[in-house]
Structure 1
């Protein structure tokens, strides 16, 4: 992990097209601004994890449904 110190209005550049700017610091809260192309999804970590878990559950439901259909088709044959 790279650790950098930044002050208000200072930025970090990631690649050619992602810029993270420290907007303000108040107590233990830091507000940041992120400039990135629209095709790059940006989420808070806890939201990202929730999305991943929901996608995994949806995939598992699809696999379970396919197994059930396969079993049903085999019984009819």
Structure 2
């Protein structure tokens, strides 16, 4: 993990297309602005993990349903 110290309005670049701007610091909260191409999804980690779980559950359900349909077809 890279740890950087930044002050408000200072920017961190990630690659050529992504910029993180420290908008403000208030106590133990830091507000970040993120500039990235529209094709890059940006989520808080807990939301990202929730999306990943829902996708895995949906894929598993679809696979199970396909297996059931295949077994019914073979009857």
TM-score (norm 2): 0.98
Alpha carbon RMSD of aligned pairs, Å?
0.4
Residue matched to 2:19: 19
Corresponding residue of 1:38: 38
Q: How many residues align?
A: 75
Give the Cα–Cα distance (whole angstroms) in 1 for the partners of residues 30 and 9 of structure 2.
Answer: 12
Higher-Rg structure is: 1
Unaligned runs of 5+ in 1: none
Q: Which residue of 1 aligns with 2:54?
A: 54
User: Hey, what's the Cα distance between the residues in 1 that align with 2:39 and 2:64?
Assistant: 32
- The alignment's TM-score, normalised by the length of structure 1, stands at 0.95
Runs of 4+ off more than 2 Å: none
TM-aligned CA deviation for residue 71 of structure 1: 0.6
